[in-house]
Amino acid sequence: MKPFGKLLAVAALAISLLACTPAETLSFKGTDISTADFGKPFTLTGQDGKPHHLADYQGKAVALFFGYTHCPDICPTTMLEYQQVMKQLGKDSDRVQVLFVSIDPQRDTPQVLAGYVPFFDKRFMGLTGSPAQVQAVASQYKIVAQRQARQDGGYTMDHSAGSYLFDTKGQLRVYVPYGTPAADIAHDLQQLLR
């Protein structure tokens, strides 16, 4: 092989090795769960009354939170945090979709969700379904929800309070515990939008 041919062969080998180098490692403030074997695709009914598939949001980073509209504290606090996250993201916020899955489908009809979820941000989407559908999705994401009767005849829902973040390819990547500062969530979403 002539010297120029050897140089080309070495250059080709170097380029092929670079192509095999792992992608840049992302640094998250939340818990990296990129290798989790749970959190499968799902379809539920949106606040607009139409079916919504998790796959509909590929191309955007997705924040998935399970809660209910009658929640006295955790749910509105989390939704306000995501409202702040969207403000902190600025123009990148249009590349993020917040999904609020109700764990109380008995009360949280699409109409009720439509009056609650967009209050925090008009781009947020509330999702519900039959009790069996909601339970199946909650189980996929390891969400625990239990109805607690009140003395006045009403009820509340005790439930898991963290959120999940997906990358733009629809891959589950980060678990965000309840109470995580909005700046940390915004940081992780920016990582996923890179």
- The DSSP annotation for 109-169 comes to -HHHHHHHHHHH-TT-EEEE--HHHHHHHHHHTT--EEEEE-TTS-EEEEE---EEEE-TT
Give per-10-residue mean pLDDT for the chain (194 aa).
46 45 73 93 98 97 97 95 98 98 97 98 98 96 93 92 96 96 98 96
Using DSSP bridges, classify how beta strands 61-67 and 155-159 pair: parallel, antiparallel or unpaired: unpaired
How many Cβ atoms are within 10 Å of 159's Cβ, its own excluded? Answer: 19
Please report, for the chain, the start and end positions of each structural domain, with discontinuous segments joined by +: 26-193
CA-closest candidate to residue 36, choices 164, 144, 138, 161: 164
Spell out the CATH class of 26-193. Answer: alpha beta
Residue 25's pLDDT is what? Answer: 79
Name the DSSP letter for residue 95: G
Question: In the prediction, which pLDDT does 24 show?
Answer: 57
Q: How far is it, in rounded angstroms, from Cα 135 to Cα 144?
A: 9
Condensed to tens digits (0 to 9), the pLDDT of residues 28-45 reads: 999 999 999 998 999 999
Quick one: pLDDT at residue 2? Answer: 53
| 64: Cα separation from own chain's centroid | 3
Look at residue 26 in the predicted model and tell me its pLDDT: 86
Distances (CA, A) of 130 to 16, 48, 90, 135, 168: 51, 16, 36, 8, 28
CA-based torsion, 39, 45, 47, 52: positive or negative: positive
Of 114, 116, 77, 82, nearest to 96 by C-alpha is 82
Q: What is the pLDDT of residues 128-145, one digit of tens each?
A: 999 999 999 999 999 999
